[in-house]
Amino acid sequence: MISSPESIRAWPVDGTSRGVPALAAPITIESVAKQEWNLLQGDLALPVLVLRDERFRHNLRSMRRLVEALGLSLAPHGKTPMAPQLFEEYVREGGAWGVSVATVPQAAVAAAGGMRHVLIANQVIGRANVEKLAALRAAFPHRGFPSFVDSVDALRQLVRFGRHRLVGEDRFDILIEVGAAGARTGARSPDQVDAIVTAARDHAETVRVVGVGCYEGAISHPDPQENLAAVDAYLDFAVEAFNRVAGAGLLDGLAEAILTGGGSVWFDRVARAFAEARLDHPARRILRCGSYPFMDHRQYRRKLAAIDARGGLPGMPAGSTSALEAFLPSLELWAAVQSVCDPGRAIVAMGRRDLPYDQGLPIPLRQYREGDLLHTLPEDEAANPFRIEKADDQHAYLSFPEGSDIRVGDLFAFGISHPCTAFDKWPIVFRVDPAFNVTGAVKTFF
């Protein structure tokens, strides 16, 4: 059970924990850093997911420079790692205002882990979830957990199931979510926004509107230029909706409202639109992109290249504006070759229980033997002659060119695609320095 940041650092690990070698006695998450383990020397039980610290911190600094240059704030989506230890670093080193989550249980983890500002970027629906949100507000009365509402019916869920669970004069803070046709959630028109405004005014004893939220990542058109135009038009709608809410007087009395958007694909467009928006009420303009501390070697590598094709990162201080240089993939999956029985194919001891596969299989990056680097492979997948062809529950099928020197026991470092579905398979993620010394461990909570 999480009760504080200290309780996470004191979390016990032992030889039954994935990746941890056999130990005479349990240790804590915090004391992993003192064990002097090294990945190349075989100290960890493979496979393991590792976080390359220098790249992780590089990414935090890059995003901090971006938002500070544009006068924006950050609430990274915590659902990516679900690791309060990293949330602390988002704030301390990355300058984040808080974190975003997708569910009430995730909000509870973030709050117990020490986050003061937790934004629920989703609808809270159903009696148990609404009651849990009311209980969370009572348990952390000075934290604030604004959640999305995209319809009158969604608002009425909060009223129906939460009105009698709120303590004293407490109310649910809500962000009116706007959406785009054919995308995901969100009110589609000014009339729908106005209907939510009216309902919020009618139920002012239960809900308080604190701003507007959006998510542009679900907009999808085959033509790239059409897609870009649709994203920009949607962001204009979000700003218009914010000013409609302000004009209706629902933000009166708030020293600072919220305007929030920004997944990990179009955050450059959101940053530009929010920085330039003329708002009719003072607001904190928040980006929620959650993958920037980690990125990856396929899905987000392509998205960063697309940002560069659009002109790079907006508003950055002097220096590189290249997204591919500003944000580096910081997660790697390590595994060993366990069998080479067929020509041109090795079986690697990792499988679907260990690796993300929803956005493509891992990409071989480097080969090691007896602690030494044997082979560095192109990070560009198209130029890489090694490939994971498929994966079973515990095995991956690695194809390689004829004549390649592959032996049982060789280690491979793999780049992943989609950090969200990498983290959720690993209760513990090991942190490593450039020499692959283990510098710590991160506990995830999925």
* pLDDT for residue 315: 82
* pLDDT for residue 2: 84
- Dihedral sign, CA of 412, 364, 438, 19? negative
In this structure, are residues 29 and 441 in contact, taking their beta carbons and an 8 Å threshold? yes
In this structure, are residues 182 and 230 in contact, taking their beta carbons and an 8 Å threshold? no
* pLDDT for residue 358: 94
- Give the three-state DSSP class for 28: strand
In this structure, are residues 263 and 288 in contact, taking their beta carbons and an 8 Å threshold? yes
Beta bridge partners of 174: 147, 209
* pLDDT for residue 320: 62
What is the pTM for the complete model shown? 0.96
195-230: string of b/e by CB count within 10 Å (b at 16+)? ebbebbeebeebbbbbbbbbbbbebeeeeeeeebeb
Beta bridge partners of 334: 48, 413
Q: What domains lie within the chain, and their CATH numbers?
A: 5-52+328-443 (2.40.37.20), 53-302 (3.20.20.10)
* pLDDT for residue 23: 80
Residue 413 and residue 50: Cα distance in Å, rounded?
10
Residues of the chain with pLDDT under 50: none
